[in-house]
Amino acid sequence: MASGSLPLLSEKQLSHGVLSELVAYCDLRDLVAIVTEGHDVIVYRINGQLVFAVRRKDEHVDITAVSWKENGTLLAVGWSDGTCGLHSGENGKLLSQTSTKEEGTGKAWKLDITPDWEDDDSDGETERTVIGLVGWMVHCTKKNKVNVSSIEEFSAPDSGDAQAATRLARSISSLDVTTSLPRLSALSSHGARLGPDGSKFTSQAAMDSIFEPQKDAKSDHVDCLLLCGKDGHIQVLQDDTVMVGSCQIEGHPILHAAHPANPIHTILSRRDDGQLIRSSLTLPMDMLSGSFLPILTTNTKRIQNFLAYVLQTIRCIQHDFTAGLQFPTRLLHNFATELNERGLGSVALNLYNLAMTGDFSDATLEWLTDIVKDTNYKRWDAAISGMYSHVQNHVFINLIPALDRIAMAASTLRGWATAHALAPLVETQQFSVQADTFSRIIDLVDSLRLAAHKMLLAVIDEYGQWRAFAKWLKVMIEVAIAGPGGKSAAEMEDRELPLLDYGHVLAYMSDTMGQEEKGARGFVCQLDDFKGSCSEQEFWSNGIVNAMGYGNAKDLLLKVREHDEDREGRIPWDELGSIKALLNIPALAAVLAGSVRSAMDQIAQWQGSMLAAPTNVSVHLKGDVKDLRVKDELVEVLMLCEGKVDMCILGTDEVSDTFPVDNAIDAKFYDDGCLALVEKEKAFTLQQNSFASKGSKTVHQFTDFVPEMLIVGGRIGKQVAMVFEKGGRGWNVLDLEGLGL
C-alpha cells in the first residue's frame, strides 16, 4: 500500500469470474452478492467469508438482476424466465417467488395440487418479461397517530366526527388476534419431493420469517418493491409479495432511486436509440398507509402463505400414505400371488380363518415363517405405525391450525368488504371486492376442516385396528416358528391370545388391510376425474366445483351415516361416484386455491386502479450512467463521458458539475461528492471529488492490482469502498473512515 493510502480491510481472490453488472452490496450487514460466470449467486462477507449460495436453477435460465432489501433480510434474484425469487438474507432459502406474467393471463387453472415445478406456458399465449432491475424502498409517511391507552381516553369528547372515525378505524385496524396464537410448526417432509416452494416450510426459522409479522400493525412505514422488466413493464408490490399494480415506462431500465420521505420512485432507462428516459412513478401513499390497506395487505399475504402451507401439508400426507404402504403392499401382494396359484382364496380370507380357528394352512405357515418372520414384521410395523403417526401429526399439528388462520384472515377481509358496502367511504378508497368472495373462501375452509376431522378420526380408528392386528400377527409368527401344535406354541397361545382384541383384528383384516384407499387414505387420494388443468371458464363451470361447500359436505356425511349406521361412519367411496370430491381433501384444496386466486386477482385489479401512470421525460445527456440517488428532493445522476465525471440534477438536463478527473474508469456518489477510479500512465488511483470545493484529491493508490469496478457502501461510521479487479477475479475493501474523509 502506498503512503497515504486507505486502510485495506480485506482482499479476496476468486476462482471464478464475476459479472460486474450483477453485484449487490448490503449496507446494513456488510454482505456482497456476486453473480458468477456460471450464473450462480454467491454471498460473501466483506472479509471474504462465504455466507450462502443460490445455485442456477436451470442451464437455460440466466440471472438478470440482484438486489438487497435495505435491512438485509431478503435478497431478490431475477431470472431470464421472468421469475424473481426472494431469498432469505441469512441462509439463502427461497421464501417466495414472483412471476412477471400477470395472474390469470395464460396460466391454467388447476384441478389438483401437484407442485408447479414450472409455470404453465404450454399455451404460448403470454410472454413473460425478463426482469432487468429490482428496486426496494421503505417509505415513512410520518402521520400523526392517535394513541388510545385507556377506556377513559377513548371515551373523551372528540373535536369532530372525522376525528372519531379516524380514531375508531385506527384502533380496530391495530387489533390482530393471530399474535395470541401459537406459531405454526415446520413441516416434516419424510422424504417427499417438496416442489419449488416446499423448502421454505422445512425449518422453524424460515417459518417464522414467513408467518411472523415483519412490522408493527401501527407502523407508518410502507414497504414497496418494484420489479422492472427489460421491456419497461413495472410491477409494484407491497410487503414483498402483495401486488399493488403494474405500469409501463419507456426504454430498458438502468437504475432506480427513491427516498423514504418521498412517494416518487425514479427509474432511469435507455431506449434502443440510446436516448435516456427519466420515469417518475408516484405511489399512492395515502392509500398504502391508510387504516385499511395495511390490513388488506397483511391478510392477503397471510392467505397466500397459509394456503401454500396447506397445499404442502396435503402433499406430505399423500406421500406418507404412499411411502408407508409400499413395503406392506409388496408383502401382501407376494402372499396373494402364492394363494392365487394354489387356489386358496384371498389374503383376508386365509388370515381371517387363522384368527378364528387357529389352524395354519401350509401357504400361511410358509409365508409367516419364510417371508414375514421377525425381520420383515418389524419393517412392516415400523412402516404402518410411522405412517399413521405422521398423518396424525400433519392433520392435527399442521393442517387444521393453518386452515383456522386462513379463515381468520378471510373473515377480516370479509368484514372490511361488508363495512365498505354498507357505509361507502371516499370514492378512491371504496373497496370493490364483494364480501361473498371471502365468504366462499371461508365456506371451502370449513369443508376442508370437516374432511380433515373425519380423516383424523378414520386414521385413529385404523391405527387402533393395526395395533391390535400387529400384536396378533406377532403371536402368530412366534407360534408358526415354534411349530403349531407343539407344547411351547400351546403355552404361548394360552398366555397371549386371551389378551388380544379380536374385534379390531378382524375389522383390520376385512375393512382396512390392502384396501386403505377405501378408508382414511380415500380422503387424500387423487381423483381420476378431477385433476389436470383447464381454462378459467371451464374451472368455474365445473359442476363439482360449484357444488363444493360446507353445507353439501355436511349433508353428504349425514346421508352416509343414515345409509349404513353399522359401518360407524366409514365413507363408502366406491358408491359415491363423482360426489366423492365433496369430501376429497386434494379436490377441496384445489378449489380453495382457485377461489383464493380469484380473490387475489380482484384485489390486484382494485389496487391497480390506484396506481397512476408514470411520467416519462427525455434526458439530454451523453455518456454512461454510473450512479443515481435522491438527495434533498433532487434526483442526481453521475455520468462518465470520455473519461470525465459529470454530475447532473435531473429535470435541468444540464451538467451541474464536472470534476477535474481524466481517464476515469468508474465513479460512485460519496458524501457531498463522488469517488472515482482513475487510470493515468498505467497507474491506478482512487480519487475523492467534492461538489462544494470543486476540488479533487487522490486518497488511494493501487499496487499490483488493476481495478475495474467501484462500489461505495456501508453506513454512518463504517463506510467502505469495494473495488473489483479487472476480470472479476478478486476484490479489495478499503476503509473510507480511515483518513477521516
Separation of alpha carbons 624 and 629, rounded Å: 15
Band of pLDDT at residue 106, cut at 50, 70 and 90: low
Residue 118 has pLDDT above 70, yes or no: no
Reading the block at residue 349, the C-alpha cell is 380370507
Q: 163 vs 136, 145, 157, 170, 276, CA distance in Å? A: 33, 11, 10, 10, 47
The reported pLDDT for the residue numbered 686 is 92
Band of pLDDT at residue 102, cut at 50, 70 and 90: low
Separation of alpha carbons 587 and 591, rounded Å: 6
Report the pLDDT averaged over residues 129-146.
77
The reported pLDDT for the residue numbered 222 is 80
Q: 257 vs 70, 252, 270, 565, CA distance in Å? A: 13, 15, 15, 69
Number of C-beta neighbours around residue 625 at 10 A: 18
pLDDT tens for each residue of 348-367: 999 999 999 888 888 999 99
pLDDT tens for each residue of 612-671: 889 998 888 888 999 999 987 788 999 888 878 888 888 765 666 777 677 889 999 998
The reported pLDDT for the residue numbered 93 is 86
More confident residue, 102 or 249: 249
Exposed, middle or buried: residue 175 (CB in 10 Å: 0-12, 13-18, 19+)? exposed
pLDDT tens for each residue of 221-231: 788 999 999 99
Residue 189 has pLDDT above 80, yes or no: no
Band of pLDDT at residue 165, cut at 50, 70 and 90: low
The reported pLDDT for the residue numbered 151 is 42
Residue 104 has pLDDT above 80, yes or no: no
* Residues forming beta bridges with residue 65, ordered by sequence position: 78
Residue 524 has pLDDT above 70, yes or no: yes
Band of pLDDT at residue 146, cut at 50, 70 and 90: very low
Residue 342 has pLDDT above 90, yes or no: no
Separation of alpha carbons 568 and 259, rounded Å: 65
Report the pLDDT averaged over residues 150-179.
57
Reading the block at residue 50, the C-alpha cell is 462465504
Band of pLDDT at residue 693, cut at 50, 70 and 90: confident
Band of pLDDT at residue 255, cut at 50, 70 and 90: very high
Q: Which CATH number fits domain 1-15+621-741: 3.20.20.70, 3.40.50.261, 1.20.120.1760, 2.120.10.30?
A: 2.120.10.30
Least confident of 159-173, 647-661, 674-688: 159-173
The reported pLDDT for the residue numbered 215 is 54
Runs of H (alpha helix) within 343-399: 347-357, 362-366, 373-393
The reported pLDDT for the residue numbered 311 is 94
The reported pLDDT for the residue numbered 148 is 44
Residue 427 has pLDDT above 50, yes or no: no
The reported pLDDT for the residue numbered 567 is 55
Amino acid at 489: A
Runs of H (alpha helix) within 542-609: 543-547, 550-563, 573-576, 585-608
Residue 422 has pLDDT above 80, yes or no: no
Band of pLDDT at residue 147, cut at 50, 70 and 90: very low
Categorise residue 373: left if φ over 0, alpha if ψ from -120 to 50, beta otherwise.
left
Band of pLDDT at residue 249, cut at 50, 70 and 90: very high
- Residue 148: phi and psi, rounded to 5, are -115, 120
User: Would you say 662 and 648 are in contact if contact means Cβ atoms under 8 Å apart?
Assistant: no
Separation of alpha carbons 496 and 543, rounded Å: 54
User: Would you say 177 and 408 are in contact if contact means Cβ atoms under 8 Å apart?
Assistant: yes
Separation of alpha carbons 190 and 316, rounded Å: 8
Exposed, middle or buried: residue 92 (CB in 10 Å: 0-12, 13-18, 19+)? buried
User: Would you say 96 and 86 are in contact if contact means Cβ atoms under 8 Å apart?
Assistant: yes
More confident residue, 159 or 210: 210
> Measured in Å, how far apart are the chain's first and last C-alpha atoms?
18
Place of cell 460486474: 20
Place of cell 411349530: 483
Band of pLDDT at residue 344, cut at 50, 70 and 90: confident
Residue 563, classed as helix, strand or coil, is helix
Nearest one of 54, 199, 78, 167 to 128, comparing CA atoms: 78
Tell me the domain boundaries of the chain. 1-15+621-741
Nearest one of 530, 532, 605 to 244, comparing CA atoms: 605
Least confident of 160-164, 300-304, 470-474, 717-721: 160-164
Q: What angle do CA 370, 375, 377 make, to 5 degrees?
A: 85
Residue 723 has pLDDT above 50, yes or no: yes
Least confident of 232-241, 406-415, 546-555: 232-241
Least confident of 158-162, 541-545, 567-571: 158-162
Q: How many CA atoms within 13 Å lie on the side-chain side of 246? A: 19
Number of C-beta neighbours around residue 642 at 10 A: 9
Separation of alpha carbons 341 and 262, rounded Å: 82
Report the pLDDT averaged over residues 404-409.
94
Residue 160 has pLDDT above 70, yes or no: no
Residue 479, classed as helix, strand or coil, is helix
* Whether the predicted model's global pTM rises above the 0.75 cut: yes
The reported pLDDT for the residue numbered 120 is 44
Residue 443, classed as helix, strand or coil, is helix
Place of cell 378382524: 506
Residue 310 has pLDDT above 80, yes or no: yes
Q: Write down the mean pLDDT value for the chain.
A: 84
Residue 699 has pLDDT above 80, yes or no: yes
Report the pLDDT averaged over residues 283-312.
84
